[in-house]
Amino acid sequence: MIEIENLRKEYRQRDRTVVALDGVSLTVRPGEIFGVVGQSGAGKSTLIRCVNLLERPTSGVVRVNGQDMTRLRGAELRRARQRIGMIFQHFNLLSSRTVAENVALPLEVMGYPRRERQRRVAELLALVGLEDRADAYPAQLSGGQKQRVGIARALAAEPAVLLSDEATSALDPETTQSILALLRDLNQRLGLTILLITHEMGVVKEICHRVAVLEAGRIVESGTVAELASRPGSHLATTLFPRPALNGNRPDGLLATLTFVGAAADAPVMTTLVRQFSVDVNVLSGSIELVQGERIGQLQVALSGDRIDEALEWLRGQGLGVEVH
């Protein structure tokens, strides 16, 4: 569990102050995968680095499993950090150490006896599917394998939470899928709580239970992917589910995007629209996607008739997202 309250981070430079985080509050629930997205410079790295105090917040509170990280210093902070795993875009492996030795590093720092270390490293390498590469050096591994080593190392001390800093940004799409599948599996099997930052929308769709959008140091939207998909005016929704272009042909009638989530996707709403409200429906485009087991459908339609307002109200009442353009 990660609780962030009113977090502010200023970087003081000689002649100016940069406000990287400006009152950020969010909670990552136990066992949840929470994504933070935002453009370059939005403050994502600063946010994640404030959770394990790699950056000290200017003000605000960061609690990890109930412990206020901002109050800790020295040995106490080091101990608390051991309960927080972190993985990085460029893996941050030591090139002079083998895979097994890289994974063993946090255990050495924590003073685990040799035998215990070996047992735990073998367990971790099996967990990430690298049992047969224990003696390889990082230079002999693919990007995906390097990230698996990074994940094994991050989990060495059995952390309660994992921070992921653009962990798939340097990987090709297929490898990205396999790393995301591994993270999802670890989340489910170990109940691992994950806070990840990314600029890749595919990552959000693939594994995040909830997501927040960071813009100039502030959270401007947050919710589940399904909630955001059907929220009119959501910028994230239009990025996650791009509306097809109409190629300059604006059809007659009222142009609207209808979003169906889960059970709403099964209801015969179009038929009702025509029969009950005498509304003509011209379907311009449509798509349906499976996002984390839930169907999210979108229809772009042009509606005409005298009772459109009533029909739109009825659609909203059926749980559809209705965005009029």
Kindly list the residues in this chain that would bind ligand ATP in the complex (CB under 6 A). Answer: 11, 13, 18, 20, 38, 40-46
CB of 2 to ligand ATP, least distance (A): 17
B/e letters for 43-76, b = 16+ CB within 10 Å, e = fewer, are bbbbbbbbbbbebebbebebbbeeeebbeeeeee
C-alpha to C-alpha distance for 196 and 211, rounded to whole angstroms:
9
Around Cβ 263, how many Cβ atoms within 10 Å? Answer: 11
Q: For ligand ATP, which is the closer residue by CB, 145 or 198?
A: 198
C-alpha to C-alpha distance for 83 and 206, rounded to whole angstroms:
26
C-alpha to C-alpha distance for 52 and 157, rounded to whole angstroms:
15
CB of 56 to ligand ATP, least distance (A): 12
The answer to whether the beta carbons of residues 312 and 222 sit under 8 Å apart is: no
Provide the 3-class DSSP secondary structure of residue 152.
Answer: helix
Q: For ligand ATP, which is the closer residue by CB, 11 or 278?
A: 11
The answer to whether the beta carbons of residues 229 and 296 sit under 8 Å apart is: yes
Around Cβ 15, how many Cβ atoms within 10 Å? Answer: 5
Q: For ligand ATP, which is the closer residue by CB, 169 or 292?
A: 169
CB of 54 to ligand ATP, least distance (A): 11
CB of 21 to ligand ATP, least distance (A): 8
CB of 46 to ligand ATP, least distance (A): 3
Q: For ligand ATP, which is the closer residue by CB, 37 or 151?
A: 37
Q: For ligand ATP, which is the closer residue by CB, 159 or 217?
A: 217
Q: For ligand ATP, which is the closer residue by CB, 49 or 133?
A: 49
